[in-house]
Amino acid sequence: MRPFGSLLSLLMLAGLAACASAGDASMKNLTASEVDSAIHDGVTTGDEVQRRFGAPSEISQENGATIWSYAYTSGREDNLSLAQEAVGLSFIGTRSNAESKSLDVTLRNNIVQSHRFAVKHINGGSGVRQ
């Protein structure tokens, strides 16, 4: 029974290592409709945006406006890639799936002028599994 428990623990650790995320965790489950219900161009203030989404990960200036950027990316290798790695066949190649979310809010005088929310799905691979 002990070898099975060790193998199960090893596979669980490999699964955790295969998942990765970076950025603002408040955006993890965010949808376009939630953004649009929270931000109203010409009405919503920067303070309200920060209360809902926290501090931006990046701040830039453009044509007298301030742009706040929020980003979140999560990725995962597929189960076949994990199995290949567990049995020493990772040289065959891997497949991975990632999702990237970004929110850009343009402010003038602390009022939202415009906002843009985007979700991108990115699939990639290596070796013969490209």
Report the distance separating Cα 52 and Cα 39, nearest Å. Answer: 9
pTM: 0.64
**Residue 85, pLDDT score:** 55
How does pLDDT run across 19-43, given as a tens digit for each residue?
555 556 677 788 999 999 999 999 9
Comparing 7-16, 58-67, 113-122, the range with the smallest average pLDDT is 7-16
Does 1 have pLDDT greater than 50? no
125 pLDDT tier (thresholds 50, 70, 90): low
pLDDT at residue 17, as a whole number:
41
Q: What's the mean pLDDT in 52-62?
A: 94
pLDDT in tens, 81-111: 445 455 555 555 566 678 889 999 999 999 9
* Residue 14 vs residues 32, 45, 70: alpha-carbon distances, Å: 33, 44, 29
Question: For residues 99 and 16, what is the distance between their CA atoms, to the nearest angstrom?
Answer: 17
Closest CA to 15 of 90, 95, 79: 79
pLDDT at 99: 83
d(C-alpha 130, C-alpha 63), whole Å:
42
| β-strand partners of 14 | none
Calculate what percentage of the chain has a pLDDT beyond 90.
46
CA angle 124, 129, 14 (to 5 degrees): 75
